[in-house]
Structure 1
């Protein structure tokens, strides 16, 4: 009989080889019996066989090979290349956006008018007259469009050009080619055209205005008016025309231009005034009002107090 250790090792190698190729079967067992017939201790050898086969299990060769094959195959480099390319595109995009924001911010002008207002000349020689505390921003140079952003009130005198002139506010947008118009941006957008033609849009609503027309926009819609307010531009021109107008409506317009504050009784505010002022001094305006309304005026600094019988 061969050395037991040698037989065991040989037997284990044979068993493992068969486990990797096929499940142990009856033919292999019969072959073992034939080999064991020449052994002086077949029963002991068979016991060894039984011990080994007690831990044996069928092997799924196809599944096992797939696992080995997957580990042996070299990993594709394309997924990694795609990831790197995507990261580069993202980095370049972020860099461009950052550059655009920094460049545009550095080349955009923002002006806030003082309480006395401000007159600006734009790169295309158009002019903006800003009312007190109005704010406007625009680029140092115009490209395809002449884009302006406005908060507050301003009067625009736009030079003619093939480039659209666009004024944007929180409530809407005005687009022109060459004209004169007034824009007041507050809770609503108030646009009045002096000459030329403009387009006013707000939300999905849009309308066109010509000289003497006016539009109000609230962020969702635009309403068009055909009545012209002769004093709409008085804050800029100093030209006032009151025709049988209640004093309570006339005084705020005078206050704004002359930067004063009137106080009076309700009865005086009910009085109506018909008068015309063109670049008149405030003293001239005050004298005219006292004469028309038969009231007395007491001036203390910027405060004007009117007293008298008033009107019913």
Structure 2
């Protein structure tokens, strides 16, 4: 083997090594995406920046403090990121570390929208109260842990059965994560907004509360009137017709569709009132 061939193999090996490292970093980022770990990473970045600046300007006390934080930070990272590390290892063990194709993702989202719409229609007609929150980018692991874990394939029959009165799981919210029913009987934070109408009950207040702290989309079926409502980004869309409701879900979770110009009753509980 000539020296030239050796150099080519060496550079090829280095290139493959770099590409593999970048791929692993990318997959790790995708694992923690949508969780609170993203905010923690920002905090770590700030600490590193402060360390560099304090060293540059010879701020000895501040630099010593930052060095102590970094020294013990490895143990702290293991403790803080324990859920994300466990999740990554579980995916690796199941062979799911590689992403699904976009077509499969869209097909699953269509099935989810169809199942939620069908279940909502059934419960609205029979005035069965329901509260369903669908996770998006912001992780809802803390709220999932307050309920009963299911990790079940989503279906309209399952959702209906959960909310049938006097069953063990009917009281509380269902949280849907990655097109799966992650948990039922979950507790959601109640909104403390003073602009909420007095006629709205705990379900609507909880739906608004979770929409204020996450980017989730939450569906409410009123037990008193059978009306369908939806919250997102701190806004409540009340008394939706079934087609309006389905269109809104499709626009949020499937490839954007241009909706028909229909007016929906909407209130922004942060102080601005619309239509």
Q: Which has the higher contact order (CA 8 A, sep 6+)?
A: 2
Shorter-chain TM-score: which interval? under 0.3
Higher strand proportion: 1
TM-score using structure 2 length: 0.28
TM-score using structure 1 length: 0.25
Query: Based on CA coordinates, which of the two structures has the bigger radius of gyration?
Result: 1
